[in-house]
Every structure is written in C-alpha cells, then in structure tokens.
Amino acid sequence: MGEVQTFRGPVPAEDLGTTLIHEHVFVGHPELDLNLPHPEWSERRAVEDAVAGLEQLWDLGVRTVVDLTVLGLGRDVARVAEVARRTRVHLVAATGYYTADVLPAYFHTHGPGRLVGGPDPLVELFLRDIQEGIAGTGIRAAMLKVVTDEQGITEDVGRVLEAAATAHLATGVPITTHTHAASRNGREQLALLVGLGVDPGRLVIGHCGDSEDLDYLRELMDAGATIGMDRFGMEHVLPDERRVATVLALLQEGYADRMVLSHDAAFFSRVTPPSWRAAHVPNWHMANLPRRVVPMLLAGGATEDQVRRMTVANPARLLAPALPAEGR
C-alpha cells in the first residue's frame, strides 16, 4: 500500500492500525495567543496532557491519530513534534488552509495576476509541506485539509480548494474536508474537486456524521467519496446515539468501505476550552470511540469486520499516497 509520512518518519500504511483520521492535538490562534492569552493555556501542561491522552489511546488499541490542524487553526508542528517524540501513537501531520470565507490580505496581493505577482503561495506552501517538510522541521504532511462552511465556496475558499487539488495531483496525498452538513455542501466540494481532476476515491467529505439525511450521504458515497462520520462526542450538535444510528443504517446497506470514524476533538482548543468541554460535552474526546461508540455499534448489529474496515482498512487505503498521474 505504500508508506505514510508521520511525525517520526514513514510508516507502511498496513502498519497504521486503528486510526482516528480527523482530530487535532492543539488548536490556537497565534495573534490571540500572544496578545490575549487564554487563561487555561499552559504549553507545558498541554504537552503533558496530550502525551498522557495519546498513551491512553494506545492502551485502548488506537495506533494512529491524524492531526488536521492546518494554517488558520494555529498549527505549530514543532510543538506537536515534542508530543510525538514521547508517545507510541503515530501522529500524522496535514497541510491546507482553514478559512470559511476570506484569506489574509497577503494572499490577495501575491500570486499570478495579483499586485505583487509571483507563483501562488498556497500551492508553494502545500507542496513544500508535503515534499520537503513543514516550517523547517522536516516533518512531511500526509493529508490535505480544505474547508467550506455555511458561506459556501467563496472566491478565497475556491482558491484554497484549487491549490489543494493541484498539490494532490502532484503528490498523490489525499484530501479531507470540513463541511457544513446542514447545507449539504459536500456536494459542491465533490463537484469542484472532481472537476479539477481529483479522483473521488481520494477524498474524505468530512463532518457527514452531523447529518441524518441518508439520501445526501448515499449520494456522496455512490459518487466514490468516503464520508467522515467524524464528530462523535460533539453532542451539542447531535447526540452520539443518533450518530451511531446513522452509521448502522448505512452499514446495513453495504457502505462499510465508504465511512471513517473520528471525533474532531482536541487536547486543547481555545475555541472550546477544556473547562467548557468538561461541563457541556464530556464525551468529546479521542477515547470516546473505543470506550463508548464502538460498543454501541457492535450492540446495534455492526460486525467486528465492519468496524475494522471503518477504523483500520479505510484510513490505511486513504492515507497511502496514490501515484501521481505522471507516474502511472
């Protein structure tokens, strides 16, 4: 299946084991972190909490976590590398840009046909992160992350998607997305990316677990994409029991090969800090799948093989980089 880049170097895809394919280690905001520090943030404590949490995941059978913290979410790969060095769990880095509407002004003046000109810095960034390493660390990204939300595909969001498609076609690294499930805008993502030459089999349409619209979910999978049932524990959006019921219904229809499971959780996020999560969404953490969700799925009629496909086989298939078109 090929090798997948991790924080500690390449790992054969078949050795990734049980994988949480849509998570975050730390979510921050560099300017706010500097000028308006969050009272619950301590780097030393956050690193210790992340290491302890990942070691707990190892004991629960999880072997790989994909950190989808890209630019726009306070990505600091050097900080996460300290965590990766101290845990047995494989951590996988991502590249991309998280914006639901507009990019910073720098991108409005740099790029072909713009005021300063030059090549598209988004494409340069994504390719460098994948081929050389992120921010001089040598840690290479193994997934591309893009976003559309309630605002839809704005001009800047479309530019990010186009840059991601360009980087994907050059490297074979898969693309995962953030969607606004209520708007069913995974359809627009899929149409745009496929129109740019992306194989739908290399796409994860994320946050589909926020939807109970089976017709919408079938449409995405029947088009060849994998859907991310990846927000277990976010019960302020949709209770886990209803998320599980949706997965079970689709398993009964034969879609085990087109779903992946995760939480979109973080060990620290200044957007929804630890005190808020503990009070309002106590199950929103990365141990929720092995501790609660998988037993719920099995009790509801899912088979061990179906669970393995969604948590082991499908992530390995997606993360293994496909040969770029020119190499086929």
Q: How is the chain split into domains, by residue range?
A: 3-322
Q: How confident is the model at residue 328 (pLDDT cuts 50, 70, 90)?
A: very low
Q: Is the pLDDT of residue 287 over 90?
A: yes
The DSSP annotation for 118-173 comes to SS-HHHHHHHHHHHT-STTS-PPP-EEEEE--TT-S-HHHHHHHHHHHHHHHHH--
As a whole number, mean pLDDT of residues 243-247 equals 98
40 dihedral zone (left: phi>0; alpha: psi -120 to 50; beta): alpha
Read off the amino acid at residue 74. G
As a whole number, mean pLDDT of residues 6-27 equals 98
pTM over 0.85? The answer is yes
Q: How confident is the model at residue 1 (pLDDT cuts 50, 70, 90)?
A: confident
* pLDDT given at position 327: 43
As a whole number, mean pLDDT of residues 66-93 equals 98
* pLDDT given at position 324: 61
CA dist., res. 321 & res. 199, Å (int): 12
Q: Is the pLDDT of residue 74 over 60?
A: yes
As a whole number, mean pLDDT of residues 303-310 equals 98
Q: Is the pLDDT of residue 283 over 50?
A: yes
Mean pLDDT of all residues belonging to the chain: 97
**Tokens representing 57?**
């995941």
Q: How confident is the model at residue 322 (pLDDT cuts 50, 70, 90)?
A: confident
- Is-contact 265 235, C-beta < 8 A? no
Class of domain 3-322: alpha beta
Kindly report, residue by residue over 126-180, the tens digit of the pLDDT: 999 999 999 999 999 999 999 999 999 999 999 999 999 999 999 999 999 999 9
Could you give the percent of the chain with pLDDT greater than 70?
98
* pLDDT given at position 2: 92
Kindly report, residue by residue over 179-232, the tens digit of the pLDDT: 999 999 999 999 999 999 999 999 999 999 999 999 999 999 999 999 999 999
Burial 197-236 (b: 16+ CB within 10 A, else e): ebbbebbbbbbbbbbeeeeebeebbebebbbbbbbbbbbe
As a whole number, mean pLDDT of residues 298-326 equals 91
